[in-house]
Amino acid sequence: MNTAATATKIPPSQHPYANIIYRLEAGGAMLPDTPENLMQIIGLYKAYAVPMDFYWRDLLYIAEQVFLDPLPFFKYFIPKEYLERHNHYAGDDADLRIWRGEATAHPELLEFIEKGELKMKLPRIFHHWWHDRINMEFAEECMRSMLWHRGMSTSVNQFDSYLDSDEYKANADRAIRAYFKGNPLMLGLHNAFPELFLEQCRQMSYYSNLGLFWEVMAPVFFEMSDLYDEGKIASVPDAMNFLVNGIFAIAGRPIYHHVYIRGECYEIIPKSKGFTWLYEAALPYVEAVFYRTSPFRGTKSYNAQAGQVPDDQKDFHYGVLYADKFPVGTAGIPPTLLAQDMLHFLPQYLVDYYQQYCRGEDDMLIQLAVSFQRSMYCVTSAVIQALRTALLYPLDDPNPKHLKANRAFFEAQMDRFLRPEARLRDIQNQNYR
């Protein structure tokens, strides 16, 4: 399981990222294993998990309850039952208990919803108007990027092709008619333009998809933070391996889309279709959000003549692994929304850490965004290792041919980071902050 062992069995790699490939072959992550890195990534998992706990609840609320509301003014005001909804991976009645904490919404989140940054108890609408709230738009942006990058990996992705099937259309049609029952205007619209609400319904299915994805990730991150506090995660590979194990434990969980209309459940994508978490939510999510997303309005010109944005969606490289974090806080930089959300929930040790560097409290938003990039490199490392485990051979395989196959897989993954925008080289350096 160590570098020397692998290196002697097969010839050295010629790849520009050879050092990182050796680290991956030794069971490590893409970012160096230092206590500083570990502290940053775990702290950011914690800070990310709290807003994520809100994101998944609200995403499911929108997918299941708001559904096709033409004027969804209050879609970010989630009702009590969704805050009390039991996460399937936490609490005593969990399907698979990952986090040892409560299954209902995280206490820090509840406190924030109640008092906000103002630390004042006000009706939620005032907090909303004062923009003292969770930036739910960021979650919707992630959802939309999954929706827009549809058909990324048709070979493994069944969920996405199902959205175009006649079966789905029939299910959606039933739900749409039930939802607009007694509303001749909308029903007339639906009859005149049958694709109109169908496409909205597909979007709702992606709301549900992403909500179910994050329902898993939130407790995973909470548990990692707790384990770190208890000293049970002591290195970056520990953290990554926890993620890998989590991915396999949860891989088979169902992905579905249920809509509740007047107390009745409409199964637009029934659980019985057998769509699973790893292939239908996790991998498309990583591809869409970590790698691709869409160009930042404040960074790239969409001018067709300028040709700055690729013609082909598979060439998109604007995800968190490529993002320039220094302009966070500026106009036209979407990750600002998430950075602001995470800022509310930073653990104290990270606040103290950021105080010592750069501009201290003043540019904490950027420092945490850079740490967030590190932490997402750790998650991507976990995904790469999980894929290698699923598709290829163990790292300590004695057969050199198998090791070569692993090597080729890692090199192919690293090829994606050869473009200059990739921050892989930056995160190797602790002074990138």
Which residues lie near another protein (CB under 8 A)? 326-330, 358-359, 362-363, 365-366
Angle between helices 184-192 and 166-179 (to 10 degrees): 160
Give Cα 416 to chain centroid, integer Å: 19
Task: Give Cα separations from 252 to 72, 248, 259, 396 (angstroms).
Answer: 33, 8, 22, 26
CB of 342 to another protein, least distance (A): 15
Radius of gyration of the chain (CA): 22
CB of 138 to another protein, least distance (A): 18
Q: Are the C-beta atoms of residues 233 and 225 closer than 8 Å to each other? A: no
Q: Are the C-beta atoms of residues 320 and 378 closer than 8 Å to each other? A: no
Nearer of residues 270 and 329 to another protein, judged by Cβ: 329
CB of 358 to another protein, least distance (A): 8
DSSP state letters, 16-78 = TTHHHHHHHHTT--SS---HHHHHHHHHHHHHHHHHHHHHHHHHHHIIIIITT-SS-TTTTS-
CB of 242 to another protein, least distance (A): 32
Who contacts 230 (Cβ-Cβ below 8 Å, separation ≥6)? none
CB of 325 to another protein, least distance (A): 10
Nearer of residues 5 and 351 to another protein, judged by Cβ: 351
Hunting for tokens 């013609």 — which residue is that? Answer: 311
Alpha helices in 130-193 (DSSP H): 136-148, 158-162, 166-179, 184-192
Nearer of residues 105 and 350 to another protein, judged by Cβ: 350
- Written as six digits, the tokens of 250 are 């949860």
CB of 428 to another protein, least distance (A): 21
Angle between helices 364-391 and 400-415 (to 10 degrees): 150
* Cα–Cα distance, 133 to 117 (Å, whole number): 8
Nearer of residues 244 and 339 to another protein, judged by Cβ: 339
Nearer of residues 283 and 323 to another protein, judged by Cβ: 323
* Cα–Cα distance, 358 to 368 (Å, whole number): 12
Nearer of residues 32 and 327 to another protein, judged by Cβ: 327
Q: Are the C-beta atoms of residues 289 and 142 closer than 8 Å to each other? A: yes
CB of 319 to another protein, least distance (A): 21
Nearer of residues 234 and 358 to another protein, judged by Cβ: 358
- Written as six digits, the tokens of 387 are 């894929």
Q: Are the C-beta atoms of residues 295 and 302 closer than 8 Å to each other? A: yes
* Cα–Cα distance, 225 to 243 (Å, whole number): 12
CB of 432 to another protein, least distance (A): 13
Nearer of residues 146 and 365 to another protein, judged by Cβ: 365
Question: Which one-letter DSSP state was computed for residue 386?
Answer: H
Task: Give Cα separations from 299 to 303, 325, 421 (angstroms).
Answer: 12, 11, 12
Nearer of residues 365 and 379 to another protein, judged by Cβ: 365
Nearer of residues 218 and 365 to another protein, judged by Cβ: 365
Nearer of residues 129 and 326 to another protein, judged by Cβ: 326
CB of 148 to another protein, least distance (A): 28
